[in-house]
C-alpha cells in the first residue's frame, strides 16, 4: 500500500507556529513506522493547540455561556476499537484524551465531568481554552442576542424561550458570517483526519469545539461512532464536518463506509450520504429561501485501496479538503452536491 492521509481543509492550513500541518505530520509519522492512529492524533493535535483556529481546541468558539466544550472520537481499524469524549471542559487536546479512552478503558464514550476527571487521571492539565479573539466574538454575539431579546418578550423566561433564544443565536451567527466577522466554514467547525498506512491499516479521528454558541451540554456528531467518524478495516473510513445534527440523523459516516464495503467509490458513497441529508432536511428553520438546506456538510472518504474524495452539500473556492501522499500535501476542492458556487447562507 501507498499510504494516504485525508482531512478537512484545516488539516493543511494551521501549523501552530511550527513547520508542519496536520496531514504532513501524520504522513511523516506513518512513513516513519508509527501506529496510524497515533499519527493522525498527533496531526490533529497541531490544529487543536493552535489558538488561531476557532473551530477546535484552544480558542474554539464557546457555547452560549461563554465556555468551550470539546468533543472528539477516534477509531482503530485493525483493533476494531474506538474511544471518544464529549462535552469536556478545560482540557486540550481532546483527540488525545479520546485515544486514552480507546487504549485504557473498555468503553467507547466518556462525557462531561467524567471526561474531565478521566483526562486529569491520564495526566492532562486543566486550562482556560478561550482566547481574546474567541471572547471578543462571543461578546459581540451576546450583545446582539440581548438586543433581540429586549425587543421580543417571547424570547424571555421559560424553557421554551431558551430554545427560541438558541435559534436566535444561530440566526445571528449567520449574520456575523455574512458580515465577514466569522468564516462561513466555522459555524460548525471541526477537524477530521483519516489515514491508510503501508500495511493497509485504517484509522481516523474527528475532534471539535462544536457548533458556535451552542446550548451548554449540546453534543454533535463528532464523538458519535457512525455519525462524525466511522472506520472499518475491510472497507475504509469516513469523517464529517458541518452541521452535526444532520450527520447524526442520517449516520452519514456509517452509511458511507457501508457503501464502500458494497463496492462504491469514495465520491459516490459520499454523494449518496449527502443526498440522504438533503432529503431529510424538511424543517422550515433549516431551509433557505430556495427551499434548500441553510447549512453545509462536508464528508471526507477513503477506501481500503487508498482512493479518497472530499464532498460537500455546497461547494465553492473555499470549500476544500486536504490530502497528503508520497507526492506531498495539497488542498483540493470538494465536489458539491448542490450547484458548485451557490451559497447556503442567504
Q: Report yes or no: 313 and 296 within 8 Å, Cβ to Cβ.
A: yes
Nearest to 107 by CA among 238, 225, 222, 192: 225
Burial class (CB in 10 A: 0-12, 13-18, 19+), 246: buried
Name the one residue in this structure whose C-alpha cell is 477509531: 75
- Distance separating the N- and C-terminal Cα atoms of the chain: 45
Output the CA torsion sign for 289, 290, 291, 296.
Answer: negative
- C-alpha angle 113-143-244 in degrees, rounded to nearest 5: 45
Give the count of alpha carbons within 13 A of 284, CB side only: 0
Which residues are marked as active site?
190
Amino acid at each position: 500500500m501507498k499510504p494516504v492521509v485525508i482531512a478537512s481543509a484545516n488539516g493543511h492550513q494551521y501549523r501552530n507556529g511550527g513547520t508542519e500541518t496536520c496531514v504532513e505530520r501524520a504522513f511523516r509519522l506513518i512513513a516513519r513506522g508509527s501506529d496510524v492512529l497515533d499519527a493522525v492524533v498527533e496531526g490533529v493535535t497541531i490544529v487543536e493547540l493552535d489558538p488561531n483556529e476557532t473551530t477546535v481546541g484552544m480558542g474554539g468558539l464557546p457555547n452560549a455561556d461563554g465556555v468551550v466544550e470539546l468533543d472528539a472520537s477516534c477509531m482503530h481499524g485493525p483493533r476494531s476499537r474506538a474511544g471518544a469524549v464529549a462535552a469536556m471542559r478545560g482540557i486540550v487536546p481532546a483527540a488525545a484524551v479520546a485515544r486514552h479512552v480507546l487504549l485504557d478503558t473498555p468503553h467507547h464514550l466518556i462525557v462531561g465531568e467524567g471526561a474531565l476527571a478521566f483526562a486529569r487521571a491520564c495526566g492532562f492539565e486543566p486550562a482556560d481554552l478561550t482566547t481574546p479573539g474567541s471572547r471578543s466574538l462571543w461578546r459581540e454575539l451576546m450583545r446582539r442576542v440581548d438586543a433581540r431579546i429586549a425587543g421580543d418578550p417571547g424570547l424571555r423566561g421559560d424553557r421554551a424561550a431558551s430554545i427560541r433564544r438558541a435559534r436566535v443565536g444561530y440566526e445571528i451567527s449567520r449574520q456575523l458570517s455574512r458580515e465577514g466577522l466569522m468564516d462561513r466554514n466555522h459555524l460548525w467547525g471541526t477537524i477530521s483526519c483519516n489515514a491508510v498506512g503501508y500495511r493497509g491499516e485504517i484509522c481516523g479521528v474527528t475532534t471539535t469545539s462544536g457548533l458556535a454558541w451552542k446550548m451548554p451540554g449540546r453534543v454533535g456528531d463528532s464523538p458519535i461512532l457512525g455519525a462524525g467518524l466511522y472506520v472499518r478495516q475491510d472497507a475504509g473510513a469516513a469523517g464529517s464536518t458541518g452541521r452535526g445534527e444532520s450527520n447524526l440523523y442520517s449516520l452519514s459516516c456509517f452509511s458511507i463506509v457501508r457503501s464502500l464495503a458494497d463496492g462504491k467509490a469514495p465520491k459516490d458513497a459520499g454523494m449518496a450520504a449527502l443526498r440522504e441529508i438533503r432529503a431529510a432536511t424538511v424543517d422550515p428553520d433549516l431551509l433557505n429561501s430556495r427551499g434548500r438546506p441553510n447549512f453545509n456538510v462536508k464528508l471526507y472518504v477513503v477506501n481500503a485501496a487508498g482512493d479518497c474524495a472530499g464532498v460537500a452539500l455546497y461547494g465553492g473556492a473555499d470549500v476544500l479538503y486536504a490530502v497528503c501522499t508520497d507526492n506531498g500535501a495539497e488542498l483540493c476542492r470538494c465536489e458539491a452536491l448542490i450547484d458548485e458556487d451557490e451559497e447556503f447562507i442567504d
